[in-house]
Amino acid sequence: MMKRAIRADLLDFTATPGWGTPGEAGVRFRPDHWLLVDEAGRIAGATPQQPGADWMPDDQRGRLLLPGFIDSHVHCPQLDVIASWGSGLLDWLQTYTFPAELRHADAAVAAAAAERFLDALLAHGTTSAVVFPTVHKVSAEALFEGAARRGMRLVTGKVLMDRHAPDGLRDDVDGARTDCEDLIARWHGQGRNSFAVTVRFAVTSTPAQLAMAGELGRRHAGLYMQTHVAETLDEGLWVAELFPQARSYLDVYHQAGLLHERAVLAHGIWLDAQDRALLRDTGAHIAHSPSSNLFLGSGLFDWPGALQADHGVSLASDVGGGTSLCQLRTMADAYKVQALRGNKLNAWVMLHAATRGAAQALRLDHEIGSLEPGRLADVVLWDWAVGPVAAQRDAVARGAEPGTTAQPLHARVFALLTLGDERNVAATYVAGRPAWQRDLIARHA
Ligand code: GUN
Ligand code: ZN
C-alpha cells in the first residue's frame, strides 16, 4: 500500500473532555490539515502543508475527518427486526428477536447477515464494534471471517443461552464450552479479532453456564465478556427470583467471575451506588444505548452517576433495540435522554464516548479511537451538513451567513451530531484503505 495523505478538517481528543459548558480542553481541531497514513495503514502524523510526492494525495478539503466510531454493543442478526412495533424488552425478545435469531442457525443465512451487517457499519461511519451474533457457532464464525477480510477491529463470540429461550436457540454447558474453545483457538487474537464470552443476560443462562463462562475468561488471556445488565425493571425482578442469593443483578455476574477490565455491559440503567462502585473496582464498563432505551421504553441512564462513580461509559447503538447504526443518531438520543434528566451533555463528551473514550474502556486505545501517530488509520470523512436545513445551520455557525459571526467550534459539531446521520458519511477507511465510499455503488446494493 502506498503512503496516503488525506486533506480535511481533523478532529479528535487528546484527553477526556469536561462536562457542562463545552470547553476546548482535550479537543484537538486541526482545520485543513493533511493526515499522514503510512504503508502499514498507521497514522504517521498531520501537517498543514501538502507532504512530498511519495504521499498519495487524497484531497477531501471542506470535510470533517474523525476517528472511526466504535459501537460497543450491537446485534448483527437484529437488522432483521430493527424498527419492530409495540413491545417492551421481554415481549420484544419473544415476539420478534428470538424468531429472527433462529434463522441464523443456517450457515448461509448467517454469512449473508454478517456481510450485510459489516458493510452497513462501515456505511454508517463505524469501523469497530463489539457484536452479539446468535447462539449458533456459525453466526460468530461468519462475523470473524467477514471482519478479517475487511481488516476491521471486531469483538464477538457465540451467544450463551441454555434456558428461557425457544427450541433451536438453546445450547448446553458442555456444547457451549466446546464451541467457545474452538472459536477462541481459531479466531481470538487473529488479526484484529478478539473473542468475547457472550452471556446474553442472567435470565437465559443457568448458574452452571455462568460458572463455565467465568472459567473460560480465566483460562485465556485477553478475552472480552459482553452481556446485558439492569435494562428494565421487569427483567430485574425476574433476575432477583432466579438468583435469590445475589445482592443485585450486577452481582450475579460478579459472583460468576465475569466482571473484569474487558467486560462490556449494555444498559446499566437500574444500578445502585454499590453496583457502580463494583464496575469501577473491577474495570468493567457500561455500553450506554440511548436509542434502544428510548425505543423499548427501558429507562433513562444516569450518566452523571457513572461519572461520579468513575466507571467507564461507551456509546452503543444496540440495534435492533436501537433504531440506527449511525452513532450520530445515538449521540442525539443520548443528549435527549440526559435532557429529560435535567442535564445537558456537550458534544465533546458524546464524541469522546464513541471514539477515544470507548477505545480506553475497551483497552484498545493503543490501536483505535484517536488520530495519534501509531494508531491504525480507521477514519471517517463526514460532510459537515447535508440538505438545506443543516447547510443553513452550519453556515450560521461558521459565520458565513450575512449578519452572523463565527460561533465556537462546538456549535458546528453539536449541530452535525444533532442533524446528521449516515448520509453525511462520504468515505470510511479501515487501516488506511478506503473501505466504503458514498459515491461508489455499494457492493451489496
Ligand atoms: N437483553 C437480552 N437480550 C437482549 C437483546 O437482544 N436486546 C436488548 N436490548 N436487551 C436484551
Ligand atoms: Zn443488546
Atom of ligand 1 nearest to the CA of 204: 2
Convert the pLDDT of each residue in 310-361 to its tens digit: 999 999 999 999 999 999 999 999 999 999 999 999 999 999 999 999 999 9
Find out whether 250 and 279 touch, Cβ atoms under 8 Å. Answer: yes
Percent of the chain's residues with pLDDT above 70? 99
Q: Is the CB of 97 under 6 A from ligand 1?
A: yes
Distance from the CA of 226 to the center of ligand 1, in angstroms?
A: 12
State which of 73, 80, 93, 253 you would mutate to test the pocket of ligand 1, scoring each by most atoms of that ligand within 8 A of its C-beta: 93
Strands (E), 98-152: 126-132
Number of neighbours of residue 130 by Cβ within 10 angstroms: 27
318 touches ligand 1 (CB under 6 Å):
yes
Quickly count: other Cβ atoms within 10 Å of residue 195's Cβ. 27
Provide mean pLDDT across the span 137-145: 98
Q: What mean pLDDT do residues 108-113 have?
A: 98
pLDDT the model gives residue 443: 44
Q: Tell me which ligand sits closest to the C-alpha of residue 292.
A: 1
DSSP reduced 3-state for 308: helix
Q: 214 alpha carbon to ligand 2 midpoint, in Å?
A: 20
Q: What is the pLDDT of residue 441?
A: 52
Pocket probe for ligand 1: among 73, 80, 97, the residue whose CB has the most ligand atoms within 8 Å is: 97
**Residue 316 beta carbon below 6 angstroms from any ligand 1 atom:** no
CA 319 to centroid of ligand 2, rounded, Å? 7
> What DSSP letter does each residue of 184-253 carry, written as one string?
HHHHTTSTTEEEEEEE--GGGS-HHHHHHHHHHHHHSTT-EEEEEES--HHHHHHHHHH-TTSSSHHHHH
75 lines ligand 1 (CB under 6 A): yes
Distance 112 CA to ligand 2 centre (A): 21
Q: Does the beta carbon of 201 lie inside 6 Å of ligand 1?
A: yes
CA dihedral 161, 293, 415, 409 (to 10 degrees): -70
Q: How far is the CA of 286 from the centre of ligand 2 (A)?
A: 12
Average model confidence (pLDDT) across the chain: 97
Query: What is the β-pairing status of strands 4-13 and 56-67?
Result: parallel
Segment 17-58, tens digit of pLDDT: 999 999 999 999 999 999 999 999 999 999 999 999 999 999
Helix (H) or strand (E) holding 10: strand 4-13
The 10s digit of each residue's pLDDT in 432-441 is: 999 999 987 5
- The answer to whether the beta carbons of residues 267 and 231 sit under 8 Å apart is yes
C-alpha 55 to ligand 1 mean position (Å): 46
From the CB of 200, is ligand 1 less than 6 Å away?
Answer: yes
* Per-residue model confidence as pLDDT tens digits over 171-226: 999 999 999 999 999 999 999 999 999 999 999 999 999 999 999 999 999 999 99
Ligand 1 midpoint to CA 228 (Å)? 7
Judge whether 55 and 47 are in contact, CB under 8 Å.
Answer: no
Phi, psi of 289 (to 5 degrees): -125, 70
pLDDT at 444: 46
